[in-house]
């Protein structure tokens, strides 16, 4: 298969890709390379301001299962603060590889739950860290924290979530 499906993968996109490629298997390699590829969530381009919460994208990926969506969001809200703390700790330690890893994890998890503003910031942070620009990553930390908080508020209203002990806020990095 030569189609590229970026994360988060929706069941519909996977099915379409499989159907295209299963039909092409006897047509040879040149026919299989004419499929379409995506470079991220289709509803959000990198030129427009991202939504805080892309509920439509989340629901599409989870086949419109509200209960599952609420569960997935709860896990994200419980786990993301530790990734954000790891990112902050990596910045404090000057650990470029750790910063890349944590920003990449935040990007992927955020894409899965439709936290588009957080996903885009984490993507920029990952790109900066890969280029060795940890100061550039640091300048985006307040925006990342604000985006995570805004996402938490948006989904709390949408899914009637209550903040619990597992949903602690990530701590901001102290000024040096």
pLDDT digits 0-9 by tens, 123-174: 999 999 999 999 999 999 999 999 999 999 999 988 887 654 344 556 555 5
34 shares its domain with 75: no
86, part of any domain: yes
19 shares its domain with 97: no
129, part of any domain: yes
Contacts 24+ apart (CB under 8 A), 97-100: 99/125, 99/129, 99/134, 99/137, 100/126, 100/129, 100/130
**Structural domain range at position 28:** 7-39
What is the spatial distance between Cα 49 and Cα 73, in angstroms, rounded to a whole number? 22
31 shares its domain with 60: no
173, part of any domain: no
Instruction: Check: pTM over 0.85? Answer yes or no.
Output: no
Task: Report the pLDDT value the prediction gives residue 63, as an integer from 0 to 100.
Answer: 93
Contact 137, 78 (CB under 8 A): no
107, part of any domain: yes
72 shares its domain with 134: yes
Contact 153, 117 (CB under 8 A): no
In 3D space, the residue among 130, 136, 108, 132 whose CA is nearest the CA of residue 120 turns out to be: 108
**Number of domains comprising the chain:** 2
171, part of any domain: no
62 shares its domain with 132: yes
């Amino acid at each position: 298969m030569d189609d590229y499906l970026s994360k988060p993968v929706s069941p519909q996109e996977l099915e379409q890709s499989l159907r295209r490629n299963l039909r092409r298997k006897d047509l040879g390699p040149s026919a299989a390379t004419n499929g379409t590829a995506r470079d991220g969530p289709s509803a959000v381009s990198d030129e427009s301001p991202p939504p805080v919460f892309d509920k439509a994208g989340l629901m599409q990926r989870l086949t419109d299962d509200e209960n599952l969506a609420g569960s997935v969001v709860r896990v994200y809200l419980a786990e993301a603060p530790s990734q954000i703390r790891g990112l902050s700790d990596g910045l404090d330690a000057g650990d470029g590889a750790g910063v890349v890893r944590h920003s990449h994890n935040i990007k992927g998890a955020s894409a899965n739950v439709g936290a588009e503003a957080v996903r885009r910031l984490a993507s920029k942070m990952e790109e900066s860290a890969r280029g060795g620009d940890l100061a550039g990553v640091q300048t985006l930390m307040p925006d990342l924290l604000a985006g995570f908080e805004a996402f938490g508020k948006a989904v709390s209203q949408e899914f009637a979530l209550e903040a619990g002990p597992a949903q602690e806020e990530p701590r901001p990095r102290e000024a040096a």
